[in-house]
Amino acid sequence: MSKAVDLAAHPLTLWQGPLGLPDFSRIGDDDFGPVFDAALAAHQAEIDAIAGNSEAPSVENTLAALELAGEALDHVSSIFWCRAGAHTNDTIQAMEREVSPKMSRHFSAISMNEKLFARIDDLYQRRDSLKLDPETLRVLEKTWKGFVRSGAKLDADGKKRLAAINEELSSLGTQFGQNVLADERDWALFLDEADLAGLPDFLKSAMAEAAEMRGQKGRYAVTLSRSIYEPFSTFSERRDLREIAFKAFIMRGQNGGASDNSDVVRDMLKLRAEKAKLLGYGSFAALKLDDTMAKTPEAVHELLDPVWEKALEKAAADQKELERLAAEAGSNEKFAAWDWRFYQEKLRAEKFAFDEAELKPYLQLERVIEACFDVATRLFGISFEEKKGITVWHPDARVFVVKNANGSERGLFLADYFARPSKRSGAWMSALQSGYKLGHGAKPVIYNVMNFAKPPAGEAALLSVDEAKTLFHEFGHALHGMLTDVTWPSVSGTSVSRDFVELPSQLYEHWLTVPAV
Ligand SMILES: [Zn+2]
């Protein structure tokens, strides 16, 4: 038996660190398991109470009660998924494999709770006579639809099968991500001074740092982190090394052995198709798109196909020009994928008389962050104040207080910019806490995670134009989370249609190239 957990006092669920953050210094990797179990049980008890309420269903006793239930589970989950993405290890990964199917089972049981759905359905059928404000109506409709899409209307056999499918899919999803991370973490190409022809200084520094992180001080590592892989394939004069790196990059999760994803993908596709059919959709795409603005796969194709054809034509024309450059440079090899970035850079240098490595020193990470904050201040009146010395999930992660124009605190913004082997690749925004007003309300605690190459101690981190764009883009998502002004937690910030969610971030990206910024 595990020892009893007091959710009202545990640092994972009662956040009493600096600025109201969780006190990360008191959280151990082994805490997650028992706290998850206790939080799941507490949430289940709340759900049972709502479903078993003898009073007639009302917005307060059903919809609001459901939204506010599970606070401890939300708290432990948000910290756990932050760690699983941004700073994982063997203990966290093992816990992820255990917790994913458990969570799936838990939420399936809620969606398929007949008494609970009967109460939601009662409110939904009476929605026009309830005189709801637009936000509450939207939450009610979204909740009802969520139950139906999760199988609330299936018969007993259908419910059982769907719960099993969901559980298996969540395990497969975890396995997929862990396999990719394993290949990224385990693969590195160690080089020496003589192999570095063409590489700019910022990249050599980053590769030296990456080699040292992997225990090979004095050498240089090509890793599969984009911030190293991409400039390496852009600048390396060594075609043979570019080929090795390219092949490793595209083969992530496909290298045979324990971390190979081929079977995982096949099983996922099969289960997704079965799930869609069970819920009455023609395909998994149709199920996925049903609650988005696009609605159907046909609408998506109508938009994408013409763009795809134009893009293909353009790419073919580009390749012709790159082949010409390669021939002029004396290459008699057949033009290959690992030549693309390299000659694209040469073409750009020829056309515009500058190269990326020359432009790069202008994009210091600190200046780009300042520019990001400055645009937010000018557009929305909010400002950012860094608080040093606060322990969060990793020493590289930084904490900023977000302030309204009148100086009051709006929320917190956390940012974790540098790549490391314990972090999955890519860039993302998420929340430790979403902002909302219902019940006692909560201030948003939003974070961005990036994978920029870490400079050696004392040197400034430098970003490519693409990386700076990524920073602006993810900061746009973060703003969406920080500027949110809603009552209901389930519609806070980026909890919008999948095909609306990219609008604020893409608009924000655009500001990077505005001269006044
Ligand atoms: Zn995005």
- Determine the pLDDT at residue 42: 97
CA of 249 to the centre of ligand 1 (A): 22
pLDDT band at 484 (very low <50, low <70, confident <90, very high): confident
- Determine the pLDDT at residue 498: 64
| Annotated domain spans of the chain | 18-111+113-149, 363-513
Residue for token pair 């030549």:
339
CA of 474 to the centre of ligand 1 (A): 6
Q: What is the mean pLDDT of residues 465-476?
A: 92
CA of 304 to the centre of ligand 1 (A): 18
Distance (Å) of CA 150 to CA 167, 325, 460: 12, 55, 49
pLDDT at 1 over 60: no
Looking at per-residue confidence, does 408 or 462 come out higher?
408
Closest CA to 210 of 201, 198, 223: 223
pLDDT band at 342 (very low <50, low <70, confident <90, very high): very high
Q: What is the mean pLDDT of residues 338-365?
A: 79
Q: What is the mean pLDDT of residues 469-475?
A: 94
Query: Residues of the chain with pLDDT > 70: what percent?
Result: 96
Q: What is the mean pLDDT of residues 103-109?
A: 94
Q: What is the mean pLDDT of residues 434-454?
A: 94
CATH 3.30.930.10 is the classification of domain 363-513: no
Beta-carbon contacts of residue 248 (< 8 Å; ≥ 6 apart): 187, 189, 224
pLDDT at 2 over 60: no
Same fold, 18-111+113-149 and 363-513: no
Distance CA 232, CA 221 (A): 10
Beta-carbon contacts of residue 172 (< 8 Å; ≥ 6 apart): 264, 267, 268, 271
Q: What is the mean pLDDT of residues 268-295?
A: 92
| Bridge partners (DSSP) listed for residue 403 | 383, 409
CATH 1.20.1050.40 is the classification of domain 18-111+113-149: yes
Burial grade of 269 (CB within 10 A; 0-12, 13-18, 19 or more) = exposed
CA of 178 to the centre of ligand 1 (A): 22
The pairing of strands 409-418 and 445-452 is parallel
Query: Do 401 and 383 touch, CB atoms closer than 8 A?
Result: no
pLDDT at 331 over 80: yes
Of 324-333, 387-396, 416-425, 485-494, the range with the highest mean pLDDT is 387-396
- Determine the pLDDT at residue 509: 78
- Determine the pLDDT at residue 48: 98
Catalytic residues: 474
pLDDT band at 293 (very low <50, low <70, confident <90, very high): confident
Closest CA to 76 of 14, 4, 5, 6: 14
CA of 431 to the centre of ligand 1 (A): 14
pLDDT band at 510 (very low <50, low <70, confident <90, very high): confident
Mapped to the 3 state alphabet, what secondary structure does 259-305 carry?
Answer: HCCHHHHHHHHHHHHHHHHHCCCCCHHHHHHCCCCCCCHHHHHHHHH
The C-alpha angle 494, 476, 509, rounded to 5 degrees, equals: 135
- Determine the pLDDT at residue 442: 95
- Determine the pLDDT at residue 227: 84
Q: What is the mean pLDDT of residues 250-268?
A: 92
Give 449-466 as a DSSP string.
EEEEPPPPTTSPPB--HH
pLDDT band at 493 (very low <50, low <70, confident <90, very high): confident
Mean pLDDT of the chain: 92
pLDDT at 147 over 70: yes
**Residue 479, CB-side half-sphere exposure with 13 Å CA sphere:** 26
CA of 476 to the centre of ligand 1 (A): 8
- Determine the pLDDT at residue 256: 86
pLDDT at 126 over 70: yes
CA of 160 to the centre of ligand 1 (A): 35
Looking at per-residue confidence, does 453 or 3 come out higher?
453
pLDDT at 514 over 90: no
Distance CA 492, CA 138 (A): 12
Q: What is the mean pLDDT of residues 392-407?
A: 97
CA of 42 to the centre of ligand 1 (A): 34
CA of 101 to the centre of ligand 1 (A): 27
- Determine the pLDDT at residue 3: 62
CA of 498 to the centre of ligand 1 (A): 10
| Bridge partners (DSSP) listed for residue 429 | 448
- Determine the pLDDT at residue 517: 60
- Determine the pLDDT at residue 242: 97
CA of 220 to the centre of ligand 1 (A): 32
- Determine the pLDDT at residue 142: 94
CA of 502 to the centre of ligand 1 (A): 5
